[in-house]
């Protein structure tokens, strides 16, 4: 590489950069045009594949339709109907429960990444192996876990074998155990991606700093939260954003392959309900309304992460 | 309406781009040479069968080429739905007979008076017509016959001290047989309650004991309430199957395919209620258990004197129709006419391993498996299939309710109430009222 | 017990924990491989156990049923296309927003990252309709553009974060040396962001390669369908053969593993270079 003096990527350590304004008007105009040209491809993509569909979704949500035939304006009917539909309520309650597991999604891969990063014997092997579940398509994951989690399946056999009889529950049959089993399967699918992300972040922290943190006698957890996490902040933030925006979407193919929202409505999530309502119940208008409600739900939950992303991307290091 | 104008504006804006990139599709009816017919299918009967369809049809029709657009069955609605709303896409499409087809009838060209001619050699084709009435509008042609029987494993019955040649014929006998099978350490009925299988496979078999054909038509029209004692009784009996412990414990959280069927295939269950055509039928089970170990019977009768109790809930398989928007309707019609014919009927038997609808299929081609022969006997007395009368919301509520009743989270009365709500939510049935 | 001794025990325990997680992680791959060499009846017999005998019939059948070279090509074109386009578009935006005096840049940036909160399932139906209206149904460019759009927000966020930490003097210096904008972006900034680019490449490649919904509707059942769609076609309406699907998946998995191994090295070595050592 021609440029080998790349800067320390940790913002806090960067030397303060005095901002100079070159008040050169023609240059500025040229830069504006250049900037506009550079953002154009991305803008086109976002508008065509996200905004236009969203707007069309909003429009459809005000229509009553049936059997893929014609549709008519229905005012806010679909929205008022949602208010007293128990399935809709359950799906959003379940979504909240899933979102509540996010801290686990953030911490577990972090701990594993740290353990690996301490150069345990065979760490390269672990690093490679942990990533494997992420590459396995959900269709297989679903079939496999229906077998593993069966009441008389291998997981329960193992639990009974080691004397943990009371833990050998009917994983996929319970009111709450089904939902959390599903989350666990999803977490298992994705933790390797998290470990990989954290390892990439850890690689940017100078060895000596970590070494010192590991050796200074503080307990593992204290070291973790007082030394490592602050230095890993950008990576933790990135992974958190990824999880927060992805967790519900990641669960979708698993619900499809594993429980189809059941038993009853125990694992029903808004994503799946949109799909069911639109394609199985042929109620496009209502499906769109639930989809818009889902969008609002995700948007409200994401206010903080979007704000964070925005400041990360636009703040000048001072 | 404004949605459409937006679509128009978008399309107009993009037309230039489409022209430039050369990605604009269009009808090529006017061009010389063979016409290419796009066929949307989920390949019922398997890839091998559809390869044969393409080869044989093209050999007999040099002026038409088939372009198969194969989509996995469980993803079919996502692909087909947008085609229908945008009134664009393939020239010929498939849908299952019954309500699924009626829900999408706006996509198909009605056959009109041609229906009788095209379907003259079919045993039945009413599932392709409005209200299962061949005197009303028909939208396409079927070529296969489908329905549910009770397969049983003779070895398991013998081990439980039961007579493998005399399977239980009534509900009480079935209960007694299940007790014996359970005592012998096996599952009685292999069952999976996830998805729409309960509606299409189990519900009609129970419903036959309580409903008449008029009731079934009323069910289709959304005029039979789920709080009607007859339907509540059906739900009660469905519930019994699991609450009496006749089925495998994980039934609420598994699907019938492949999980439920696998329990039976590996010899862990005495009975499995599955279909007669396509996979998981006599052929697959015969291979797994041995043709001599596989028995076939009608689902046990709850009320043997009920008018439909000794009948077969039969339904035509996939129906193929020509789309409204096709530029090649004539070629499409030729293709579906061929599908209903003898040549395809024989391919269906040979490669699709199913029950054909065409009467002229060479009997020598039919398999000699004892289970298959028994099925021939059972299907000879057909009646309407109550399962395919259920709308999407009803089929879904049936499965979820059954899961919850099994787990003790719901009473049958509450289940019936939820079924009624599902009926009222169903856009199609609301419309027909 | 001295500290050294207990440290060693701690290390053993730690390794043991890592091994347990590794076993749980590798199990699905083993399950898939083992399933793929079972017969259909053998799988039904004992879904989780070892096979009685090994058969390669499922692989032969998978190859016979699918036009494997074409499907592989389709998947490669669309996945690589989507991947490159989304990363490229993200690089350009990140540069424009962080390193140019570009009024309105912040709004554009906000718009792009806010689009992350539009879940694909919420707009799935109108999205398909839009693709149809664009005349891109069944066309490579339709899927490539859709992939790019869905991969864009995270990439933009991550790259902007990286670029933001590069001091402006460095850019000024390069500019004084006569470097143009593209040189600065691709020869100065992109190398610094290597770990981010590698992580993005892995993440995007895997989801685009494994995705089912977008290719299904955009490609329909046409000859341009992707390998994953082909694999899921191996199970029919009533014929769900886990061994056959497993065989197809193992074949489909190989490119993913190769990409992972290639970019994993970039991920770590690039990061080390970036930290200035």
Q: Tell me the per-residue pLDDT of A151-207, one tens digit each, with 9 for 90 and over.
A: 777 888 889 888 888 888 889 988 899 999 999 999 999 999 999 889 888 877 777
Contact C28 A148 (CB under 8 A): no
Contact C96 A249 (CB under 8 A): no
Predicted local confidence at residue B31, as pLDDT: 52
Angle, in degrees to the nearest 10, between helices C105-114 and A25-46: 10
Q: Residue A130 corresponds to which tokens in the numbers above?
A: 């942990």
Over residues B145-153, the mean pLDDT reads: 96
Has residue C87 been placed in a domain? yes
User: How would you write C58-127 as a 3-class SS string?
Assistant: HHHHHHHHCCHHHHHHHHHHHHHHHHHHHHHHHHHHHHHHHHCCCCCHHHHHHHHHHHHHCCHHHHHHHH
More confident residue, C140 or A70: C140
Contacts A143 to B, Cβ<8 Å: 258
Co-location of C265 and C140 in the same domain: yes
Per-residue pLDDT band at A229 (split at 50, 70, 90): confident
CA separation for the pair B323, B107 (Å, rounded): 5
Per-residue pLDDT band at B19 (split at 50, 70, 90): very low
Has residue C40 been placed in a domain? no
Radius of gyration of chain C (CA): 23
> In this structure, what CATH number is given to the domain that contains residue C254?
1.10.3720.10
In chain C, the number of structural domains is 2
Q: Residue B376 corresponds to which tokens in the numbers above?
A: 């021939």
Has residue C41 been placed in a domain? no
Range in B120-129, B243-252, C4-13 with the lowest mean pLDDT: C4-13
Co-location of C135 and C191 in the same domain: yes
Predicted local confidence at residue A226, as pLDDT: 77
How much of chain B is helix, strand and coil, in % rounded to 5? 50, 15, 35
Co-location of C22 and C126 in the same domain: no
CA separation for the pair B167, A248 (Å, rounded): 48
Beta bridge partners of B358: B122
According to DSSP, residue B396 is labeled H
- Residues 6 or more apart whose Cβ sits within 8 Å of residue B216: B207, B383, B384, B386, B389
Co-location of C23 and C91 in the same domain: no
Has residue C22 been placed in a domain? yes
Per-residue pLDDT band at B212 (split at 50, 70, 90): very high
Handedness of CA A213, A215, A216, A217 (dihedral sign): positive
Has residue C192 been placed in a domain? yes
Beta bridge partners of B273: B150
Which three-class secondary structure state does DSSP give residue A121? Answer: coil
- Residues 6 or more apart whose Cβ sits within 8 Å of residue B16: none
Co-location of C4 and C129 in the same domain: no
The parts of chain C modelled with pLDDT lower than 50 are: 271-277
Co-location of C85 and C22 in the same domain: no
Radius of gyration of chain B (CA): 23
Contact A199 C267 (CB under 8 A): yes
Predicted local confidence at residue A180, as pLDDT: 95
CA separation for the pair C233, B51 (Å, rounded): 14
Identify the helix (H) or strand (E) that includes residue B78.
Answer: helix B76-85
Q: Residue C255 corresponds to which tokens in the numbers above?
A: 């490119």
Does the beta carbon of A85 lie under 8 angstroms from any beta carbon of chain C?
A: no
CA separation for the pair A304, A241 (Å, rounded): 9
CA separation for the pair C212, C227 (Å, rounded): 10
- Residues 6 or more apart whose Cβ sits within 8 Å of residue B166: none
CA separation for the pair B101, B320 (Å, rounded): 10
Beta bridge partners of B189: B247, B271
Per-residue pLDDT band at A311 (split at 50, 70, 90): confident
Predicted local confidence at residue B431, as pLDDT: 55
CA separation for the pair A248, A190 (Å, rounded): 13
Contacts A151 to B, Cβ<8 Å: 249-250
Contacts C240 to B, Cβ<8 Å: 257-258, 279
Q: Residue A265 corresponds to which tokens in the numbers above?
A: 């409505």
Q: Residue B323 corresponds to which tokens in the numbers above?
A: 């789309």
Co-location of C14 and C94 in the same domain: no
Co-location of C2 and C93 in the same domain: no
What residues make up the domain containing C108?
67-274
- In 3D space, the residue among A112, A164, A250, A235 whose CA is nearest the CA of residue C25 turns out to be A112
Has residue C54 been placed in a domain? no
Q: Which residue has the tokens 């679909």?
A: A78
More confident residue, B118 or A23: B118
| Helix (H) and strand (E) counts in chain B | 19, 12
- In 3D space, the residue among B75, C57, C249 whose CA is nearest the CA of residue A141 turns out to be C249
Q: Residue B349 corresponds to which tokens in the numbers above?
A: 């038997």
Q: Read off the pLDDT of residues B61-103 as tens digits, 9 standing for 90 and up.
A: 999 999 999 888 888 988 898 888 778 889 999 999 988 998 8
Q: Which of residues 129-158 of C touch B (CB under 8 A)?
A: 129-130, 132-139, 141
Has residue C36 been placed in a domain? no
DSSP of B294-343: EEEEPPPBSSTTSTTTTSEEEEE-EEEEEBTT-S-HHHHHHHHHHHTSHH
Contact C165 A46 (CB under 8 A): no
Distances (CA, A) of B315 to A254, B124, B130, B320: 32, 9, 14, 15
Over residues A102-124, the mean pLDDT reads: 85
Over residues A236-249, the mean pLDDT reads: 89
Co-location of C6 and C93 in the same domain: no
Contacts C18 to A, Cβ<8 Å: 112, 115-116, 120, 122, 126
- Residues 6 or more apart whose Cβ sits within 8 Å of residue C100: A31, A34, A35, A38, C181
Phi/psi for C211 (5° steps) reads: -65, 145
- In 3D space, the residue among A18, A41, A303 whose CA is nearest the CA of residue C94 turns out to be A41
Question: What percentage of chain B exceeds 90 in pLDDT?
Answer: 74
Q: Which of residues 169-188 of A touch B (CB under 8 A)?
A: 170, 172-173, 175, 178
Q: Which ranges of chain A would DSSP assign to H, the alpha helix?
A: 25-46, 52-60, 77-83, 86-99, 102-117, 123-130, 132-135, 138-148, 154-161, 177-202, 207-215, 220-223, 229-231, 233-258, 270-275, 284-314
Predicted local confidence at residue A218, as pLDDT: 55
The reported pTM is 0.88
Q: Read off the pLDDT of residues A89-100 as tens digits, 9 standing for 90 and up.
A: 999 999 999 999
pLDDT at A2 > cutoff 60? no
Cis amide leading into B196 (omega within 30): no
Has residue C97 been placed in a domain? yes
- Residues 6 or more apart whose Cβ sits within 8 Å of residue B107: A68, B83, B84, B87, B93, B321, B323, B324
Q: Which residue has the tokens 């089925």?
A: B247
Contact B403 A280 (CB under 8 A): no
DSSP of A23-84: --HHHHHHHHHHHHHHHHHHHHHHIIIIIHHHHHHHHHTTEEE-TTS-EEE-TTHHHHHHHT
Over residues B121-141, the mean pLDDT reads: 93
Contact in structure between B211 and B230 (CB atoms under 8 Å):
yes
Distance from CA of C98 to the nearest CA of A (A): 6
**What rounded mean pLDDT belongs to chain A?**
83
pLDDT at B237 > cutoff 90? yes
CATH of domain A72-311: 1.10.3720.10
Contact B102 A67 (CB under 8 A): yes
Per-residue pLDDT band at B295 (split at 50, 70, 90): very high
Over residues B229-254, the mean pLDDT reads: 96
Contacts A130 to C, Cβ<8 Å: 21-22, 25
Does the beta carbon of C41 lie under 8 angstroms from any beta carbon of chain B?
A: yes
Q: Residue B332 corresponds to which tokens in the numbers above?
A: 């499409």
Contact in structure between C113 and C157 (CB atoms under 8 Å):
yes
Per-residue pLDDT band at A3 (split at 50, 70, 90): very low
């Amino acid at each position: 590489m021609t440029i080998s003096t790349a800067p320390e990527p940790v913002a806090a350590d960067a030397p303060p950069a005095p901002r100079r304004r070159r008040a050169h008007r023609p240059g500025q105009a040229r830069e504006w045009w250049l900037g506009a040209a550079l953002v154009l491809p991305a803008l086109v993509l976002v508008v065509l594949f996200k905004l236009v569909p969203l707007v069309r979704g909003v429009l459809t949500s005000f229509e009553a339709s049936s059997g893929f035939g014609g549709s008519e304006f229905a005012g806010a009917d679909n929205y008022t109907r949602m208010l007293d539909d128990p399935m809709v309520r359950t799906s959003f309650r379940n979504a909240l429960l899933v979102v509540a597991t996010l801290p686990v999604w953030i911490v577990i891969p972090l701990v594993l990444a740290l353990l690996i990063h301490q150069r345990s014997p065979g760490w390269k092997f672990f690093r490679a192996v942990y990533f494997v579940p992420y590459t396995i398509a959900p269709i297989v994951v679903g079939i496999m876990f229906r077998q593993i989690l069966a009441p008389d399946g291998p997981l329960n056999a193992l639990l009974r074998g080691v004397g943990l009889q009371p833990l050998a529950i009917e994983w996929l049959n319970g009111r709450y155990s089904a939902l959390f089993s599903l989350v666990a399967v999803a977490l298992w699918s994705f933790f390797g991606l998290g470990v990989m992300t954290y390892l990439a972040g850890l690689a940017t922290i100078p060895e000596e700093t970590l070494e010192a943190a590991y050796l200074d006698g503080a307990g593992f957890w204290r070291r973790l939260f007082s030394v490592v996490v602050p230095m890993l902040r950008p990576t933790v933030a990135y992974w958190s954003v990824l999880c927060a925006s992805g967790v519900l979407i990641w669960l979708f193919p698993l619900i499809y392959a594993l429980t189809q929202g059941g038993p009853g409505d125990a694992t029903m999530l808004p994503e799946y309900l949109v799909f069911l309502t639109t394609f199985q119940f042929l109620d496009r208008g209502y499906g769109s309304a639930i989809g818009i409600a889902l969008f609002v739900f995700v948007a409200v939950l994401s206010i903080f992460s979007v704000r964070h992303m925005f400041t990360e991307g636009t703040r000048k290091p001072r | 309406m404004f949605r459409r104008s937006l679509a128009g504006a978008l399309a107009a804006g993009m037309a230039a781009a489409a022209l430039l990139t050369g990605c604009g599709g269009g009808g090529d009816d006017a061009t010389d040479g063979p016409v290419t017919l796009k066929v949307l299918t989920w390949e019922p009967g398997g890839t091998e069968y559809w390869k044969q369809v393409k080869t044989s049809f093209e050999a007999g029709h040099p002026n038409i080429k088939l372009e198969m657009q194969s989509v996995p069955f469980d993803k079919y609605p996502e692909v087909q739905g947008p085609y229908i709303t945008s009134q664009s896409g393939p020239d010929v499409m498939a849908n299952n007979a019954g309500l699924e087809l009626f829900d999408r009838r706006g996509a198909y060209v009605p056959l009109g008076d041609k229906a009788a001619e095209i379907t003259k050699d079919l045993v039945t084709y009413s599932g392709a017509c409005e209200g299962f009435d061949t005197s009303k509008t028909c939208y396409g042609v079927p070529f296969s016959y489908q329905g549910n029987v009770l397969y049983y494993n003779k070895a398991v019955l013998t081990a439980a001290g039961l007579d493998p040649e005399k399977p239980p014929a009534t509900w009480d006998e079935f209960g007694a047989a299940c007790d014996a099978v359970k005592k012998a350490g096996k599952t009685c009925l292999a069952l999976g309650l996830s998805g729409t299988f309960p509606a299409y496979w189990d519900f009609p078999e129970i419903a036959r004991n309580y409903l008449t054909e008029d009731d079934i038509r009323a069910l289709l029209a959304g005029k039979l309430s789920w709080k009607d004692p007859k339907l509540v009784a059906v739900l009660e009996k469905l519930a019994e199957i699991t609450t009496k412990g006749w089925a495998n414990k994980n039934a609420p959280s598994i699907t019938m395919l492949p999980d439920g069927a696998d329990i039976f295939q590996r010899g862990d269950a005495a009975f499995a209620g599955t279909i007669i055509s396509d996979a998981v039928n006599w052929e697959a089970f015969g291979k797994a258990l041995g043709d001599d170990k596989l028995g076939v019977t009608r689902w046990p009768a709850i009320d043997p004197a009920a008018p439909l109790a000794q009948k077969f809930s039969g339904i035509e398989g996939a129906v193929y129709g020509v789309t409204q928007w096709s530029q090649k309707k004539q070629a499409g019609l030729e293709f579906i006419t061929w599908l209903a014919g003898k040549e395809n009927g024989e391919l269906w038997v040979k490669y699709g391993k199913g029950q054909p609808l065409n009467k002229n299929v060479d009997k020598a081609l039919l398999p000699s498996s004892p289970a298959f022969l028994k099925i021939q006997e059972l299907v000879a007395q057909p009646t309407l299939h109550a399962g395919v009368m259920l709308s999407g919301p009803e089929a879904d509520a049936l499965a979820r309710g059954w899961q919850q009743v099994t787990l003790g989270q719901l009473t049958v009365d509450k289940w019936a109430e939820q079924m009624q709500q599902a009926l009222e939510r169903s856009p199609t049935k609301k419309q027909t009222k | 017990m001295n500290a050294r001794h207990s440290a060693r025990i701690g290390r053993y325990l730690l390794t043991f924990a890592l091994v347990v997680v590794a076993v749980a992680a590798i199990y699905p791959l083993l399950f898939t491989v083992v399933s793929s060499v079972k017969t259909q009846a053998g799988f039904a017999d004992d879904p989780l156990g070892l096979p009685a005998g090994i058969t390669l019939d499922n692989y032969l059948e998978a190859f016979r049923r699918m036009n494997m070279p074409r499907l592989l090509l389709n998947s490669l074109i669309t996945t690589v296309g989507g991947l490159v386009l989304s990363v490229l578009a993200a690089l350009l935006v990140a540069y424009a927003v962080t390193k140019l005096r570009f009024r309105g840049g912040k709004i554009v940036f906000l718009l792009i990252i806010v689009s992350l909160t539009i879940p694909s399932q919420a707009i799935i139906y109108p999205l398909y309709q839009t693709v149809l209206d664009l005349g891109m149904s069944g066309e490579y460019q339709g899927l490539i553009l859709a992939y790019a759009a869905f991969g864009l927000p995270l990439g933009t966020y991550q790259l902007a974060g990286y670029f933001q930490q590069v001091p402006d003097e460095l850019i000024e210096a390069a500019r004084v040396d006569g470097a143009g904008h593209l040189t600065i972006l691709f020869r100065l900034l992109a190398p610094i962001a290597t770990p981010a680019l590698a992580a993005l490449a892995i993440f995007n490649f895997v989801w685009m390669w494994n995705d089912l919904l977008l290719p299904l509707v955009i490609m329909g059942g046409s000859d341009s369908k992707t390998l994953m769609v082909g694999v899921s076609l191996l199970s029919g309406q009533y014929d769900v053969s886990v061994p056959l699907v497993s065989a197809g998946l193992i074949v489909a998995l190989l490119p993913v593993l190769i990409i992972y191994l290639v970019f994993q090295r970039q991920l770590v070595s690039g990061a080390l270079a970036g930290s200035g050592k």
